[in-house]
Structure 1
Amino acid sequence: MSRPTHETHGAYAPPVPVRELIAHSADGARLHVEVHGPEGAPVVVLAHGWTCSTAFWAAQIRDLAVDHRVVAYDQRGHGRSPAGDACSTETLADDLEAVLAATLGPGEKAVLAGHSMGGMTLMAASARPRFREHAAAALLCSTGSTRLVEESLVLPWRAGRLRTRVTAAVLSSRAPLGPVTPVTRRILKYATMGPGSSPVMVDACARIVHACPRTVRHAWSVVLSTLDLDAGVRELRVPTAVISGTADRMTPVVHARALVAALPNCVGSTELPGLGHMTPVEAPELVTARIRELVTTYVRGAGAAVKAAAEGAEIPETAEIKEGA
């Protein structure tokens, strides 16, 4: 599958990876994986959302890769990852495990960040052995665990069966999105971004979303429409932070609040006034800063403490070992 043209468009193009590889999932699906940044640096793994690609994380990759090893991959059917034979929450978990196996050494820890369907990926994989082996902490951006269609505010109607049915039909449409135009930019901005989003941000997101094949968009919409990952949230035991936008129509802030209440080890929730669903693009510095905080606290800090303990040295107060690290 050729690289979508949006990934080299304008200032939002992500940096060239240090290494590219293919991870093979449990059912044989091939996943395009990119590794950025220096070897030996603390690791961050990024999982993008529905209809997106690695390009969605361009701002985070550019910043973090200076002093982190950043792993980003295309979910199956997205970007340069072929569709494979199945779409389900199980395959989301399988795919993440395959990426972790292909990029991290035995016992190597990382901060895992997921946006939208990427956050659902972390929930789906939370009880998997490889997830627990490698996850030091997690960041959930603009995501939810269940009732996605019922709670969606894309249609400004009163909640009820009619809104749910029509929302499901809109989100699962097989219609091609066509080229990016001023009209489609306005539609995408309304549905997925806050009113203050800049034209550059809107254009970047539009190009990413429009590059997703309509068959893939439809297949994953069916999975999302019946999503129930509440059990996965309860199994997400590593320190987990939550970010949401108060103007998010796709996964309204009610989802973030439910996650905060259900997570066994929530280490903070940030609600961003006036921002929509695309928080890593709309608030890139804040999302990156939160990832850095998690790395500092649960990867660098824990690593220093473990090393000191192994050497019989006194553990410094700043190197506290956090539960789940």
Structure 2
Amino acid sequence: MSYVSVNGFNHYYEWVTEAGTQEPTGKPVFVFIHGWGGSARYWESTAREFSDRFDCLLYDMRGFGRSRSNVSESPLAEPPETAAELSYELESYADDLAGLLDALGLQRVSLNAHSMGASVATFFLNLYADRVDRAVLTCSGIFEYDEKAFNAFYKFGGYVVKFRPRLLYGLPFIDRLFMQRFLHRPLPTAISRSFLNDFLMADYGAALGTIFTCVSKKATEVMPQEFARLTVPTLLISGERDIIIPAEMGRQAAALSDKIQYVVIPDTAHFPMLEDPSTYLQLVREFLGVSIVQPSVASSRE
């Protein structure tokens, strides 16, 4: 496992390369950013598909996955003092990414970000536009402020984050129930269980803090401005049946900038890259201007 300290917090990262090395090989770098409650684990299969053209960098955002505080295995544990002082604003997570790139000596990259990670990436694209060639935002968009609905969401979200007994991981079929809201097509059990494990082990402060920053009055006011400001060529992909971030929200975001190309993948929900990987990979490859490298076949004469 590889870790680097960024803003006083150890961040887990890994490389996915065609050669299977744990160091970049000199190809252009493609960075993958996960969503709320998850980790880089769910990007691994997608990253492998792009390793023919890119050195793929996966990392776990502060407080999630393997970038947790390690003070206790309990999800209710408070983060360490240095981490507790950090903001859970989306802009601060964008600064974390900049710090990670600096620590690894990376000047310019392409991005592929999902859900909450896509919101973080949108801020990064505007704060550090000179460091990005192209960006893919998966399941992102803008929404309108509804005080009653937001307060109900905070109450429910707070309850879900606070009561996450580890014993849930051992219950049969609980992973399927957990993922049901996010999917239109089922995923292999190993992937669903990995999602459940990441959710159960996320730091309490990060999990709760980002609920309030992702779904907030401020976000409804600021995110449209951020999408409108984009100068980096961007592909925004929605799942047709996504109920977490409905496709219409993505369509509204894409309409704010002529730098955004918008696509909806049919019969997928909040994880189109895993529910219909072939369509997703084709769309992203076309946007990046890369094709699959075909193995050479040596001809022979009889």
Q: TM-score range by the shorter chain?
A: 0.7 to 0.9
Letter in 2 for 1:247: R
- Counterpart of 2:175 in structure 1 is 185
Q: Deviations over 1:281-305 (max 9, x none)?
A: 22333333333334336xxxxxxxx
Give the C-alpha shift of residue 260 in structure 1. 1.1
Which structure 1 residue ranges, 5 or more long, are not aligned? 4-19, 151-159, 298-325
Give the C-alpha shift of residue 218 in structure 1. 1.4
* Alignment pair present for 1:62 and 2:67: no
Q: Is the 8 A contact 1:48 1:114 kept in 2?
A: yes
- Provide closer, same or farther for how the CA distance between residues 139 and 207 of structure 1 changes in structure 2, counting only shifts above 3 A: same
* Identity score, percent: 21
- Provide closer, same or farther for how the CA distance between residues 125 and 222 of structure 1 changes in structure 2, counting only shifts above 3 A: same
Q: How does 1:14-93 map to 2 (within 5 A)?
A: 20-25=2-7, 28-37=8-17, 38-82=24-68, 84-85=83-84, 86-93=87-94
Q: Is the 8 A contact 2:64 2:198 kept in 1?
A: no
Letter in 1 for 2:163: A
Letter in 2 for 1:76: R
Structure 2 counterpart SS, 1:144 = coil
Q: Cα RMSD over matched residues?
A: 2.5
Cα distance in 1, alignment partners of residues 99 and 258 from structure 2: 25
Q: 1:284 aligns with which of 267, 277, 292?
A: 277
TM-score by length of 2: 0.76
Structure 2 counterpart SS, 1:259 = helix
Cα distance in 2, alignment partners of residues 104 and 144 from structure 1: 31
Structure 2 counterpart SS, 1:172 = helix
* Alignment pair present for 1:218 and 2:208: yes
Cα distance in 1, alignment partners of residues 287 and 100 from structure 2: 20
Cα distance in 1, alignment partners of residues 143 and 123 from structure 2: 12
Give the C-alpha shift of residue 104 in structure 1. 4.7
Q: How does 1:125-274 map to 2 (within 5 A)?
A: 125-128=124-127, 131-147=128-144, 150=146, 161=148, 163-173=149-159, 174-176=162-164, 178=166, 179-180=168-169, 181-182=171-172, 184-194=174-184, 196-200=185-189, 201-226=191-216, 227=219, 228-267=222-261, 269-274=262-267
Q: Is the 8 A contact 2:63 2:206 kept in 1?
A: yes
Give the C-alpha shift of residue 183 in structure 1. 5.4
Give the C-alpha shift of residue 235 in structure 1. 2.1
Cα distance in 2, alignment partners of residues 265 and 218 from structure 1: 33
Give the C-alpha shift of residue 72 in structure 1. 1.2
Q: Is the 8 A contact 1:125 1:232 kept in 2?
A: no
- Provide closer, same or farther for how the CA distance between residues 104 and 205 of structure 1 changes in structure 2, counting only shifts above 3 A: same
Q: Is the 8 A contact 1:111 1:294 kept in 2?
A: no
TM-score by length of 1: 0.71
